[in-house]
Amino acid sequence: MAERRASGRAVADPDFLQFNDLACEMVGGKVIFATDEWFAPASNLLKREPPQFIASAFTDFGKWMDGWETRRKRISGHDWCIIQLGVPGLIHGFDVDTSFFTGNHSPHVSIQAGCLDQMPIFTLEGDRTGMAASDSQMAAVAKLGSEAWPELVSVSKLQPGYSDSCHNYFRVNFNRRVTHLRLNMYPDGGIARLRVYGVGQRDWSSVSTNQLVDLVALTNGGVCLGYSDAHFGHPRNMIGLGRAANMADGWETARRLDRPKELKVDQQGILQVPGREWAVFRLGHPGLISSIEVDTNHFKGNFPDSCRIEACTLTPEKEAQRIRTRWNSEKWQVLLPPQKLRPHHIHHYNEAELMLSHPVSHVRLIIAPDGGVSRLRLWGRLTPITAASVNQRRPTSKL
- Per-residue pLDDT reduced to its tens digit, 101-117: 999 999 999 999 999 98
Look at residue 386 in the predicted model and tell me its pLDDT: 54
Instruction: Say yes or no to pLDDT of 6 above 60.
Output: no
CA distance 194 to 116: 21
With a threshold of 0.85, does the pTM exceed it?
Answer: yes
Q: Examine the domain organization and report whether 188 and 219 are in the same domain.
A: no
Whether 304 and 269 map to the same domain: the answer is yes
* pLDDT in the model for residue 385: 62
CA-to-CA dists, residue 325 to 134, 187, 328, angstroms? 54, 45, 6
> Is position 392 within any domain?
no
Q: What is the pLDDT of residues 45-56, one digit of tens each?
A: 999 999 999 999
Q: What is the mean pLDDT of residues 268-290?
A: 96
Statement to judge: residues 216 and 186 lie in one domain = no
Is 360 contained in some domain? Answer: yes
Give residue 5's pLDDT band: very low, low, confident or very high (50, 70, 90): very low
Average predicted confidence (pLDDT) for the chain: 92
Q: Do the domain assignments include residue 340?
A: yes
Please tell me the predicted confidence (pLDDT) of residue 119: 77
Mean pLDDT of 324-346: 92
68 & 149 share domain: yes
DSSP state of 12: P
CA distance linking residue 274 with residue 252, whole number of Å: 19
Give the residues across from 89 on adjacent strands. 178, 200
Whether residue 257 is found in the same domain as residue 119: no
The radius of gyration of the chain's CA atoms, rounded to the nearest angstrom, is 23
Q: Are residues 112 and 195 in the same domain?
A: yes
Can you tell me the distance from the alpha carbon of 345 to that of 297, in angstroms, rounded to the nearest whole number?
A: 6
Residue of higher predicted confidence among 4 and 181: 181
The confidence score (pLDDT) of residue 127 equals 87
Q: 180 and 228 share a domain?
A: no
Confidence band for 11, pLDDT divided at 50, 70 and 90: low
What's the mean pLDDT in 278-293? 97
Range of the domain at 307: 212-382
Spatial neighbors of 161 by CB under 8 A, at least 6 apart, are 1, 2, 97, 98, 99, 100, 101, 102, 105, 192
What pLDDT is attached to residue 331? 86
Q: Are strands 223-227 and 79-97 parallel, antiparallel or unpaired?
A: unpaired
CA distance 76 to 123: 25
d(CA 94, CA 14): 10
CB half-sphere exposure, 390, CA atoms < 13 A:
30
In-domain check, residue 6: no
When divided into structural domains, the chain yields a total of 2
The CATH number of whichever domain residue 87 belongs to comes to 2.60.120.260
Cα–Cα distance measured from residue 215 to residue 357, given in angstroms and rounded to the nearest whole number? 16
Task: Spell out the alpha helix ranges (H) of 54-197.
Answer: 135-142
- Residue 350: is its pLDDT beyond 60? yes
What percent of the chain clears pLDDT 70, i.e. is strictly above it? 93
Q: Is the residue at 389 inside a domain?
A: no
| Domain identity same for 109 and 132 | yes
* Rounded distance between C-alpha atoms, residue 201 and residue 91, angstroms: 10
SS3 320: helix
The reported pLDDT for the residue numbered 388 is 37
For residue 317, tell me if it sits in a domain. Answer: yes
Confidence of residue 389 (pLDDT cuts 50, 70, 90): very low
How confident is the model at residue 10, as a pLDDT? Answer: 54
Is 370 found in the same domain as 349? yes
d(C-alpha 199, C-alpha 246), whole Å: 24
pLDDT for position 398: 40
CA angle 348, 350, 353 (to 5 degrees): 105
Give the other-Cβ count within 10 Å of 225's Cβ: 24
Greater pLDDT, 343 or 390: 343
Domain assignment of residue 390, yes or no? no
Using CA atoms, how far apart are residues 167 and 159, in angstroms rounded to an integer?
A: 8
**Residues 299 and 344 reside in one and the same domain:** yes
168 and 103 share a domain?
Answer: yes
| Phi, then psi, of 151 in degrees rounded to 5 | -95, 120
Are residues 246 and 173 both part of a single domain? Answer: no
Lowest mean pLDDT among 74-78, 263-267, 320-324, 356-360: 320-324
206 lies in some domain: no
pLDDT reported for residue 228: 96
